Amino acid sequence: MSDAAASTRTALITGTSTGIGRATAETLLSQGHTVYATMRDPEGRNARAASELESFARAQPGTVRVADLDVTSQASADAAVQRVIDEAGRLDAVVHNAGHLFVGYTEAFTEDDLTHLLDVNAVGAHRVNRAALPHLRAQRFGTLLYVGSTILVTTPPFLGPYVASKAAFDALAVVTSYEVSQFGIETSIVMPGAITQGTNHFPGASHASDTAVTTQYADLDALVARTDEAHDGLFDPEHPADPQSVADEVARILALPAGRKPFRSVVDAAQAGVDHVMAFSDLTREAFVRRLGFGETLELKR
């Protein structure tokens, strides 16, 4: 691997209009990276977010290119990645951050509701990988960094489809890592805890389509209404969960030399103990993979 490949210089980030994605784009720009900050409809619904990012970048050593990317469209993912290759000539890292939140009673989410959320939160990352991996494999280096969630361990009530989608997202990241490692491509999964401030995650959440079923759960409405408050209550008021803490960890990982990036990192102001659970889980998984005789897929081939 060349010296140029040893540190991340060009990154594509999904979901940069708000929250963690926006903070990550700004952090990488402040460190001198070329950032392709992607979002849906940057000339329309997200025009203000795009303009703010471009204004921020003018005072930074890095360069921003705001790009349209809808993770529910393979053609959109392909076009965004091709733009990076055409303009920058290389792609060092893909940061999978785009996602959406559903809040409500699991039964009341229709088949279409659940399918849509899985499409956005899990299949969307797969589409972006399918666009990016041919280029990363050809250059034989790069990083896939997934912004996951501690929720696949903590599994709180009233977030059923979201929990399922983030579990699928994590599983796809893990199984993809075995294959791409053999082409010099590293994987890191950053797992934030709940973040209720500085992001549109909870305020912008969607709700179940089947209102008739929702009505039948009316006795629990007071509990659902407390979802935001309950998550806020997890944190010390003097040390609230902040998207910037996740962005800082993403930037730290991307700055590490090839072969030194952690496979998993937990950033959780709620201190739910997920780091201990995942450390044991990954050790168990890795031991099983080695027993199968596939141990080389756990090592980065350079």
Beta strands across the sheet bearing 10-13: 63-68, 34-39, 10-13, 93-96, 142-147, 185-192, 264-267
CA–CA dist 109, 111 (Å, integer): 7
Angle at 194 between CA 189 and CA 198, to 5 degrees: 100
- Could you report the per-residue pLDDT of 263-289, keeping only the tens digit for each? 999 999 889 999 999 999 999 999 999
CA–CA dist 219, 242 (Å, integer): 33
Tokens of 237: 């008021």
Give the mean model confidence (pLDDT) for residues 224-237: 85
Tokens of 31: 């460190």
CA–CA dist 241, 245 (Å, integer): 8
Q: Is the pLDDT reported for residue 169 higher than 70? A: yes
Give the mean model confidence (pLDDT) for residues 13-29: 97
CB atoms within 10 A of CB 219: 7
CA–CA dist 53, 26 (Å, integer): 7
Give the mean model confidence (pLDDT) for residues 162-180: 98
Domains of the chain: 4-298 (3.40.50.720)
With b meaning 16 or more CB within 10 Å and e meaning fewer, what string describes 38-62?
Answer: bbbebeeebeebbeebeebbeebeb
- What band does 233 get if pLDDT is binned at 50, 70 and 90? confident
Percentage of the chain lying above the pLDDT 90 cut: 86
Which residues are 156's β-sheet partners?
none
- What band does 194 get if pLDDT is binned at 50, 70 and 90? confident
- What band does 5 get if pLDDT is binned at 50, 70 and 90? very low
Q: Is the pLDDT reported for residue 200 higher than 70? A: no
178 is catalytic: no
Which of 219 and 199 is assigned the larger pLDDT? 219
- Could you report the per-residue pLDDT of 25-84, keeping only the tens digit for each? 999 999 999 999 999 999 999 999 999 999 999 999 999 999 999 999 999 999 999 999
Q: Is the pLDDT reported for residue 204 higher than 80? A: no
Contacts of 58 (CB under 8 A, 6+ apart): none
Give the mean model confidence (pLDDT) for residues 155-161: 96
Nearest to 251 by CA among 267, 275, 238: 267
Q: Is the pLDDT reported for residue 6 higher than 50? A: no
The torsion angles phi and psi of 185, rounded to 5 degrees, stand at -105, 120
Task: Give me the catalytic one of 36, 146, 162, 217.
Answer: 162
Q: Which residue has the tokens 């280096």?
A: 141
